[in-house]
Amino acid sequence: MPVSIKKEISASCEVPAIGIDLGTTYSCVAVWKQNRIEIITNDQGNRITPSSVAFNDTDRLVGDAAKNQAAYNPTNTIFG
């Protein structure tokens, strides 16, 4: 596609686009809006989130919370 057509398409597009990088160690989410990329932070304020999940008797933990408890709950923790 010629560069001039790409510019016209991107300039006329008003709909935000979301990108998700599901990495084996860390994951990241970004949104493209108003001609710029914004990385979405997680509930801890971090721009990347550990690709980890953990379970205990009462909770299902993901991301930083799962990684932080992995040392004392390794049997029920899955991480990259």
Question: For the segment 40-59, what is each residue's pLDDT rounded down to a tens digit?
Answer: 999 999 999 999 999 989 99
Instruction: Report the predicted TM-score, pTM, of the whole model to 2 decimal places.
Output: 0.70
Query: Which bin fits 59, alpha (ψ -120 to 50), beta or left (φ > 0)?
Result: beta
- How many CB atoms neighbour CB 49 within 10 A? 21
């970004």: which residue's tokens? Answer: 30
Bridge-based pairing of strands 52-55 and 60-62 is antiparallel
Q: Per residue in 1-45, pLDDT tens?
A: 555 555 555 556 678 899 999 999 999 999 999 889 999 999 999
In the chain, what are the domains?
15-79 (3.30.420.40)
Select from 78, 70, 71 the least CA-distant residue to 25.
78
At position 29, the amino acid (one-letter code) is V
